[in-house]
Amino acid sequence: MAIDFNSSIKINGFDIAADGIVIKMLVIKNWFFDVVPRLEMVLNDPNDVLFNLYPIQDDSEFEIEINKNSNPDKQKETKILKFSVLDWESGSIISGLNGGHAHAITGYLKVDNLFFPNVTKSFKQKSSSEVIEEITNDLGLTYVKNFSNNTRDVMNWLQVGKNNHDMLNYVNERSFLSEDDTTLLFVNLDNELIHTSLKTETEKEVAYIGKLSQTEQGSDSQENFDDVIETNGELKDTPIFYYGAISNRTFGSRNKFLTYNTKTTYYDGSNHIENDVGNGNGDKLLNKLSQRNKDNIDKEVAQFEFGILNGGENFSQGVHSEFYNSQVRHKYTIMNFFKNQVNVKIKGNSLIKLMDIVELKIKASSDRMINETHSGKYIVGGIIHTLGEETEYSVELVLYRSGINKPSFDSENLVVE
């Protein structure tokens, strides 16, 4: 399930192909849980060029150019991505009498001033969305906000000895949009920082229908795939064909901890404040798919004690009134919704985006009928682009939702509120 491509790599401006360096593996991960896309690459360097001529250093720049050439009748599609080296390991190549080294390299999409230096500054009387937008602009990225209302969390935000990457996470995890939603942020391969919310994304229309390919190569899908996927029109019900799926479901004690009622408490200088997090948290889509027992709803299963809240009743002098609740709510909602994971491999595709909604058609192994329990809507939480040694490009989608469908005959146990 791959398409042909040509790729070239430059290290600090030098084209490595001219010196006999071979790309054994190149993986680009655009992952919701990482703020920026990640690069993982293995290079064979038989002439030790990367030791002698272009030594890799901290923050070395890798420029990757990918050309799709599966259809000679159409204009060649070119994508140029720049990554900064985070870490690398080298080992000797054992192949007859030849020498050289293999290099395993990891990096992140190049964004200046993201990981260093550490910064100390204040954002006076601003909402979290305003802080995130200001940091995004300082980083040279394009800020894209997908929710309509501003976050309700104006305060004096302090960035004390934090790099911008950590500050973005810190602010996002403590922002407040509403009691039944939480904000998300990530950088895509187009150098855009997407600032959105879980509710905004789960309420979107289906972008793709995922259908099982009848062959390992997906030959049943090749003919019409390019015609449909490369149009600039409506994406709704666009088919993607996958071969095989791997699921990972984390329930059990995690389900009990997260899907019922969690309480936060703190002292604000005048009163002892208690708030519930998780009581009816999330929209109907999230709750309906949860494996919670409806008879246990509202029963307390965990408590977070934050101590004294700086600022007393005048929250403008300290932190906003939902500061601590938002921190718990964010963790609670993310862990609850993204606990059911399915990985599917598809033909190389650069149009599918993080947070797209995929309606997956999973067939039962016995009678090949649609599996009612596990089929349905999933959200794209990860996209793994893999470029192999033999000029093949494939994509693995990491799909998430909060649980499994209750069978129709078990409708009396559905949790919809």
Query: 3-state DSSP call for residue 319?
Result: coil
Q: What percent of the chain has pLDDT over 70?
A: 69
pTM of the predicted model as reported, rounded to 2 decimal places: 0.82
Structure tokens at 291: 């494996």
- Contact, 344 vs 244, CB < 8 A? yes
CATH superfamily of 3-109: Trypsin-like serine proteases (2.40.10.10)
Please determine, for residue 153, whether its predicted confidence score (pLDDT) is greater than 90: yes
Q: Which of 268, 266, 207 is nearest to 239 (CA)?
A: 207
The gap between the terminal CA atoms of the chain, to the nearest Å, is 41
401-413 pLDDT tens trace: 877 776 655 555 5
Identify the burial level of 259 via C-beta atoms within 10 angstroms of its C-beta, where 0-12 means exposed, 13-18 middle and 19 or more buried: buried
Q: How far is CA 170 from CA 33, 38, 139, 141, 184, in A?
A: 14, 20, 17, 19, 12
Give the pLDDT of residue 108.
95
Beta-carbon contacts of residue 265 (< 8 Å; ≥ 6 apart)? 272, 273, 274, 275, 303, 304, 305, 306
Two tokens at 289? 């798919």
Given a cut of 80, whether residue 7 has pLDDT beyond it is no
- Confidence tier at 164 by pLDDT (50, 70, 90): very high
Query: Do 347 and 218 touch, CB atoms closer than 8 A?
Result: yes
> pLDDT, tens digit, for every residue of 189-216?
999 999 999 989 988 998 888 877 655 4
The total number of residues written for the chain in this structure? 417
Task: Give the separation between CA 285 and CA 306, rounded to whole angstroms.
Answer: 31
Nearest 5°: the CA angle 308, 314, 316 is 100
**Average pLDDT value for residue range 369-375:** 78
Taking residues 115-141, report their average pLDDT.
95
In this prediction, residue 120 has a pLDDT band, given cuts at 50, 70 and 90, of very high
The pLDDT value given to residue 315 = 44
User: What 3-state class would DSSP assign to 15?
Assistant: strand
For the chain, the structural domain boundaries read 3-109, 119-197, 204-248+339-379+395-405, 253-336
Cβ atoms of 389 and 39 closer than 8 Å: no
Domain 119-197 has CATH 3.40.50.12780: no
pLDDT beyond 90 at 129: yes
Give the pLDDT band (50/70/90) at residue 175. very high
pLDDT digits (tens, 9 = 90+) for 57-99: 888 899 988 776 545 555 556 788 999 998 988 888 655 445 6
